[in-house]
Amino acid sequence: MSTTVHRIYIAIMSLIVLATLLGIGYYGYSYYRLPVEERFFSGQHQWLKPSGPLGHGFGIAGTLFMTIGVFFYMARKRLRSLSRMGTLKYWLEFHIFLCTLGPILVLYHTSMKFGGLVSISFWSMVAVFLSGIIGRFIYIQIPRTIEGRELTLNEVQNQRQDIVLLLKNEYNLDEESYRLISKTLINNLTEEGSSKPKGMLGNYFADRRFVKQLKRSLKVNQLSKSQKREVLNLVKGEISLNGKIERLTTMQNLFKYWHVAHLPFAFVMLIIMIIHVVVTIVFGYRWIF
User: How many residues appear in the chain?
Assistant: 289
Burial 44-83 (b: 16+ CB within 10 A, else e): bbebbbbebebbbbbbbbbbebbbebbebbeebeeeeeee
Of 13-27, 89-103, 182-196, 214-228, the range with the highest mean pLDDT is 13-27
> What pLDDT score was predicted for residue 194?
42
Residues forming a β-bridge with 150? 144
pLDDT band (50, 70, 90) for residue 189: very low
Contact 235, 211 (CB under 8 A): yes
Q: Is the dihedral of CA 211, 215, 217, 222 positive or negative?
A: positive
Candidates 111, 124, 109, 74; CA nearest to 94 is 74
The widest CA-to-CA distance across the chain, in whole angstroms, is 79
Tens-place pLDDT, residues 128-176: 878 777 777 777 766 654 445 555 556 555 555 556 666 666 776 667 7
Could you report the per-residue pLDDT of 71-117, keeping only the tens digit for each? Answer: 888 888 778 777 777 777 788 889 889 988 988 998 898 888 776 66
Q: Return the higher-pLDDT residue of 262 and 166.
A: 262
* pTM, 2 dp: 0.64
Q: What is the pLDDT of residue 202?
A: 65
Q: How does residue 256 score in pLDDT terms, banded at 50, 70 and 90? A: confident
Per-residue CA distances from 199 to 196, 202, 283 (Å): 10, 5, 56
State how far the Cα of 267 lies from the Cα of 264, in Å rounded to an integer: 5
What burial class does residue 211 get, using C-beta atoms within 10 Å of its C-beta: 0-12 exposed, 13-18 middle, 19+ buried?
middle
Question: What does the domain layout of the chain look like in residue ranges?
Answer: 3-152+251-282, 158-246
Question: Which pLDDT belongs to residue 113?
Answer: 79
Q: Answer with the residue of higher pLDDT: 1 or 269.
A: 269
Least reliable range by pLDDT among 54-63, 109-118, 175-184? 175-184
pLDDT the model gives residue 191: 43
Q: For the chain, give the mean pLDDT.
A: 76
Which has more confidence, 241 or 101? Answer: 101
Helices (H), the chain: 3-32, 36-39, 45-48, 53-78, 88-109, 116-141, 153-158, 163-170, 175-182, 189-190, 200-218, 225-282
More confident residue, 119 or 64: 64
Q: Which of 44-58, 192-206, 233-247 has the lowest average pLDDT? A: 192-206
As beta bridge partners, residue 144 has 150
Nearest to 144 by CA among 155, 133, 136: 155
∠66-68-72 over CA atoms, to 5°?
125
CA distances from 179 to 143, 149, 186, 197, 277 (A): 29, 37, 10, 20, 66
| pLDDT value of residue 199 | 56
Residue pLDDT, tens place only, 10-36:
999 999 999 999 999 999 999 998 888
**Which residues, other chains included, contact 283 with Cβ-Cβ below 8 Å and sequence gap of 6+?**
none
